[in-house]
Amino acid sequence: MACPDGIHLLRGNHETKNMNKIYGFEGEVRHKYDEKTFELFLEVFEHLPLAATISGKVFVTHGGIPVVPVTLEDIRGIKRGREPGDSGLMSDLLWADPQPFLGKAPSKRGVGYSFGPDITERFLQANNLELLVRSHEVKDEGYVVEHGGKTITVFSAPNYCDTMGNKGAFITFDAACKPKFTQFEAVPHPEVKPMAYAAGMAGLF
C-alpha cells in the first residue's frame, strides 16, 4: 500500500444518495448540521475508490465482482464523481453477492447479480489474485468464507440496525496475506431509537 500507516476507505452501496435517505444518514446530518454538510458528504462519497488490492494478492471491494470478465485496468477506468447506475461495473462492485452454485443469477435485492465460485475463480486467475474480500451482507458470526476459500465476506457492524443480533468482525493479514479473524459484540450506545433518522426501508436490505 502507498500509505501503510493510513486508513483507506472504499465506497459501498450505502455511500449513495438514495441509500443515505433510506437508512437515515441524510436525516441525521441534516438534523445535526445542515444541507451544505450533507452535500459535502455526497461529494466525498462519489469520489471514494471502488476497490483496492493488498500486496497484489487480495482484491477488496464492498459488494462483489462483475459477472462479465474484467481486468483491474477496467475497474481503474470506471468514472467516479457520480452516482452509480442500476447495472454495469460500478453497480456490481457495490451490490453483487456471492452464491454457492455456479454461474450468475439475478440478485434478491433487485439490483446487481449473484456470482458463483466459477466467476470468482475466473476473475482471480485473470488478474493474478488469490482472494476476494467483500462486505455487504450481515453474517451471524461477523464473517464467512465461501467459494472454496477464495471469497470472504466480513461485516463489522455488530447487531446491525439494533435488530440483527450478529457479531461484528475484522480481518488482519499477515506478511503472506493469510487472514486472521477478530470477532466482537455490540456495545451500548446513546439512547437513540433504531433507524431514528431513516426515511423508510422501501424493501431494501
Residue 73: exposure state from Cβ atoms within 10 A (0-12, 13-18, ≥19) = exposed
Q: CA angle at residue 119 from 74 to 9, to 5 degrees?
A: 50
Cell numbers given for 18: 438514495
Which residue is it, cell 451490490? 95
Q: Which of 8, 14, 31, 136 is catalytic?
A: 14
Q: For residue 13, give the 3-state DSSP assignment.
A: coil
Catalytic, 8? Answer: no
Q: Please say whether the beta carbons of 35 and 85 come within 8 A.
A: no
Query: Which are the catalytic amino acids?
Result: 14
